[in-house]
Structure 1
Amino acid sequence: MTTIRSLLTGLISITFLVSSAAVSAQSRTGYKIVTASKTGTYIQIGRDLAQWVADPAQIDLEVLESQGSAENVRRMRFEPGVKLALVQSDVYQAFLDEAKAGNAEAGNIIRPLRLIMPLYDEEIYFVTRADSPINAIHEIRNKKIAVGALGSGTALTSRTLYQLMFGEPLPSENAQYLTNEEALVKLTVDKTIDVAIIVAGQPAKLFSDMKPEARNFIKILKLDDAAPETARAKKTYFPATIRTSSYPTWLTADIPTLTVKAYLVTYDYGLQSTVGNLARFAESLCMNFDKLQANGHPKWKQVKLELPPLAQGWRYYPPMEKRLRACIARASAAATPAPVSDRPARPCTEQEFVLGLCRR
């Protein structure tokens, strides 16, 4: 009888544990985030968000590869399950500009999208062969250029920069739409292109995986502040530095370049369950921000937990904005030391000193 009772007790316990696990699994939400190629920075940022933000918020966040920002905007708008996207600022602005100019498709895509927060600056790499006679970014005019894959933010950045610097579009016969990996092969093996433009936050896996011998095959062009083309590029993009510390195995000197801002983007959802889940994600983002900076990609150390004013046409997603601003305010209040009252100049008593009421 005792044995039967023990077996029944064990079965009941197992049933309870399985049932609890099933309830717990059902209570979690499955969402997706679109990033970029597997060797880029975006996909690592997405994985960090999945581990340190989504998981504590009871959200299973699937990190998806993509061609980059332009594709991400479309997938964010139309692909089921995609609730988050990483997008370059110039790509987002280009969609807004197209919509303003009367492009109905661009308007349909971009108007319902909303920002969660700005992230970091992504460096723009202008890569050429080590034996190339050109050394500066403004020398790429009339060269054969790999501008990034079709649908990528890199492709738009490449063409926008070329137009800004030289006052004319990049000739179609000089542009090749290639992935980063394909571009490096065409550059160094086939030698059918002169320059590969790659946008990635440093340290980017594509470059950090390179061996010391890489310097025998490629080099990165420098930004020349004295060139008039540079001044024109700076109307939209910002100066930055590719550091030797990011690629110590093969880079021998810091290299000045340009950057573009990355944003975390969502949609203007109204369904109550989605609103609640994304608000919970925002709270987790704020509460676990220190873990992102401590354990995530080094780029997180450049991210500020703040919501700055936005350009015309850009809007934050209100439910997440509300949650983030409240959390940021609480964190700021907690970090502000209590004021110390003014007292006549006299030595502190031990008790006053311990209580922080005066200083010795």
Structure 2
Amino acid sequence: MKRYLLLLLMLGLPPTAALARAEYKIVTASERGTYIQIGRDLAKFVAEPADINLEVLPSKGSADNVARLRDEAGVKFALVQSDVYQAFLDQAASGNRAAGRIIRPLRVVMPLYNEEIYFVVRADSPLNYIHEIKDKKLSIGPVGSGTALSATTLYRLMFEQPLPESNATYVSNEEALIRLTTDKSVDVAVIVAGQPAKLFADMKPEARQFIKLLKLDDKARESKRAVETYYPAAIRPSSYPNWITEEVPTLTVKAFLVTYDYNLEHTTRYLNAFADSLCRNFDTLQSQGHAKWKEVKLELPALGKGWSYYPPMERAMRNCIAQQGAGAPAGLRQSRPAGPAARSCTQQEKVMGLCGS
């Protein structure tokens, strides 16, 4: 031990500082969602080798994560849906000062994977397709969740009008399924989660008697409006063998790992170490982490207008990728602006937690 301390002193490193580990937090989503599992993978396979104790926190979802990353002490990372990030940028550009204060200092670490959007109805529902949800009672996740923003944005895109507040229920995914199948106060539960999502993967075969998924009809004009912003995809039976027997076409939204524009040398040093560890342990994430990691590419593609990488982590990542001989980054499609915000509190501002700011 004495030799170790002597070596630290020779290198000019205070022994206490050299032995310290950073204590950081990452905000994710619900306990049974995919985000929290991705956060746990980052804590175990990336943060730990970088000398960071990364506490994985549940949250209401993406919009809540954006605000907590901006204001909550110790939160250094957040998992955020691309449409939520873009919505904050659009609100800021339209003059919403609260949105601007929150989003402008945020920076992208890297894009992750696409999250599937599930439209769940009762097994005996006459509905079969996503574009048939107009005028139905929808559960769209808690206020502040990415699900709420995705659901309301999709509704507005498909039907060219807002989801009526009288038809919107803001509850958790679990509560939504209960209301859907018991008191039937909900006709459709909209849930955003990367497959396989624990909420559905834990279901028993009997679930088929109670709930089913709506399909995307790519020929419907409402669907064509939706895919101008979101991505077509499929929910696979291999993800939920106890529940579905064939692929269900649906829509997806991109997930991002996001941080803040930090300038303290101590913080930057640890975040650089995190970025380098993320690159060097990427194969471990794909082999031992959640199945969604297999869909992630180790690359930093061009971002849309208003989006920026965090420069120190970007440099660390690009240097590591170059050393590993990774291929050139590909382009990334972004959500289109949603247009100017009204002066009163809109439904979008409500689900983003901007009302009363």
Whether TM-score is above 0.5 comes out as yes
Q: Is the 8 A contact 2:298 2:326 kept in 1?
A: no
Task: Give TM-score, length-normalised by structure 2.
Answer: 0.87
Q: Is the deviation greater in 151-160 or in 325-334?
A: 325-334
Distance in 2, Cα, partners of 1:74 & 1:116: 17
The aligned runs of 1:204-243 (5 Å cut-off) are 204-243=197-236
Query: Residue in 2 aligned with 1:254?
Result: 247
Query: Residue in 2 aligned with 1:133?
Result: 126
Distance in 2, Cα, partners of 1:214 & 1:174: 25
Q: CA deviation at 1:315?
A: 0.2
Q: Is the 8 A contact 2:110 2:299 kept in 1?
A: yes
The aligned runs of 1:185-200 (5 Å cut-off) are 185-200=178-193
Residues 1:300 and 1:215: Cα distance change in structure 2 (over 3 Å): same
Query: Residue in 2 aligned with 1:343?
Result: none
Query: Residue in 1 aligned with 2:336?
Result: none
Q: 1:103 aligns with which of 92, 96, 105?
A: 96
| 2:157 paired with 1:164 | yes
SS at match of 2:182: helix
Query: Residue in 2 aligned with 1:338?
Result: none
Query: Residue in 2 aligned with 1:152?
Result: 145
CA-based RMSD of the aligned residues comes to 1.9
- Residue 273 of structure 1 aligns to which amino acid in structure 2? H
Q: 2:290 aligns with which of 276, 297, 304?
A: 297
Q: Is the 8 A contact 2:121 2:214 kept in 1?
A: yes
SS at match of 1:244: coil
- Residue 213 of structure 1 aligns to which amino acid in structure 2? E
* 1:117-137 C-alpha deviation (Å, 9 max, x unpaired): 000000000000000000000
- Residue 185 of structure 1 aligns to which amino acid in structure 2? I
Distance in 1, Cα, partners of 2:60 & 2:243: 27
The aligned runs of 1:1-360 (5 Å cut-off) are 26-332=19-325
Asked which structure has the greater CA Rg, the reply is: 1
SS at match of 2:255: strand
Q: CA deviation at 1:251?
A: 1.1
- Residue 260 of structure 1 aligns to which amino acid in structure 2? V
Distance in 2, Cα, partners of 1:232 & 1:63: 36
Query: Residue in 2 aligned with 1:345?
Result: none
Q: CA deviation at 1:333?
A: 6.8
Q: CA deviation at 1:82?
A: 0.1
- Residue 235 of structure 1 aligns to which amino acid in structure 2? E
Task: Give TM-score, length-normalised by structure 1.
Answer: 0.86
- Structure number with the higher helix fraction is 1
Q: Which runs of 5+ in 2 are unaligned?
A: 3-14, 328-357
Distance in 2, Cα, partners of 1:198 & 1:309: 29
- Residue 327 of structure 1 aligns to which amino acid in structure 2? C
SS at match of 1:135: coil
SS at match of 1:224: coil
Q: Which runs of 5+ in 1 are unaligned?
A: 1-11, 13-21, 335-360
- Residue 88 of structure 1 aligns to which amino acid in structure 2? Q
Distance in 2, Cα, partners of 1:241 & 1:190: 30
Q: Highest relative contact order (Cα 8 Å, sep 6+), 1 or 2?
A: 2
Distance in 2, Cα, partners of 1:51 & 1:198: 27
User: How many aligned residue pairs are there?
Assistant: 318
- Residue 299 of structure 1 aligns to which amino acid in structure 2? K
Q: CA deviation at 1:154?
A: 0.3
Q: Which runs of 4+ in 1 moved over 4 A?
A: 22-26
